[in-house]
Amino acid sequence: MNFFDLCAACGRGIGRCFAALGRLLTRMTRLTFHYWWLVITIVLLAAAASLYYTRCENQTYKMNAVALLNGPSIQQFEQAFAPLRSNHMIPEGAAIKPFIVEQKARVFDTFRVIDCLHDGEADFIDFKQKIYPTDTVNVQMSDRLCLQFRIKARNLGLVPEIEQSLLDFLNGNAPMQQSYATYLANLKEEVAFNHSQAQKLDSLTSNYYFYNASSAQPMNYSGNGVNFYGDRRIRLFLKEIYEQREVLQQGDYRLQLATAPVVLENHFAMDPKPVNGRLKMLIIFLLLGWCSGCIAAELIDQRKAIYAWLKR
């Protein structure tokens, strides 16, 4: 079989699938016409079930928050998060377990945070999971992840408790605590070094711009009745001071946030679009009701053949 024979075989297979689908729809249309009373009854019951399922207090929402990893890697975090995703191997004393057992918080998941400008700032979250690590334009950040779980509208008041219990469960992981301790020690050394370098640069600027290096006294230059203090032939390190100040602020900000292995940049926020939206679920339930009604009509239409087959 060559390539053209393979393409022809695939085309014939696809054609047969479409033909079978057409015959099925035709058969379902005929059954709907002959047993309209049965099909319509089941469809109405499905619509009523959809409206009951999507009532306000039963609607499910997605809760999202961006987590900052202070030391732990993505792999370490995923290993610690795996019990929540699978609902297995959760310790008995974990504060998050009652919420999971009682289905008050469910479908835990994580999504990568994308940095498009390579500036260390989060730009968007890859909810569709279509960005690959080899993408050099959209870079997956190594110190941030988006956490998500689902909760029903009647349980929205429990979100702060779920958030705190989730953080306690993740921060209690031993490997993550070890990575955090190493990260915190290195960060403190880095911040102390940045402060010392800023003081040295400030001292260097003061000595060479405002004072004579030999006498360490202010130099007075007079001309036309105007006094100038400092040697204006020495260039001011203004650019270096601003760069060092920016580095210093970033280090202080990271140290301020590094209070635990995992911290949330923002509290869990609700996605305004419910998972079980009324229109979407109504369409799904109507299609299921129509299919169920056609199956019931087919059983009634073939009742004699089924009865004869059972008597054999």
At 219-244, the pLDDT tens digits run 444 444 444 444 444 455 667 778 88
Whole-number mean pLDDT of the chain? 86
Residue (of 155, 154, 162, 152) closest to 95 by Cα position: 162
Which amino acid belongs to residue 92?
E
Which amino acid belongs to residue 24?
L
Cβ partners under 8 Å of residue 145, min gap 6: 66, 67, 69, 74, 77, 110, 111, 112, 113
**pLDDT value, residue 228:** 44
167: exposed, middle or buried (C-beta count within 10 Å: 0-12, 13-18, 19+)?
buried
**pLDDT value, residue 1:** 66
The mean-pLDDT minimum among 13-22, 144-153, 227-236, 251-260 falls in: 227-236
What gap in Å lies between CA 168 and CA 95, rounded to an integer? 8
For 146-196, the pLDDT digits (tens) are 999 999 999 999 999 999 999 999 999 999 999 999 999 999 999 999 888
Choice between 239 and 111, residue whose per-residue pLDDT is larger: 111
Q: What mean pLDDT do residues 106-123 have?
A: 89
**pLDDT value, residue 237:** 67
pLDDT at 113 over 70: yes
Residue (of 263, 256, 115, 264) closest to 187 by Cα position: 256
Torsion angle, CA of 232/238/241/246, rounded to 10 degrees?
170
Q: Are 151 and 65 in contact (CB under 8 A)?
A: no
Torsion angle, CA of 195/198/199/201, rounded to 10 degrees?
160
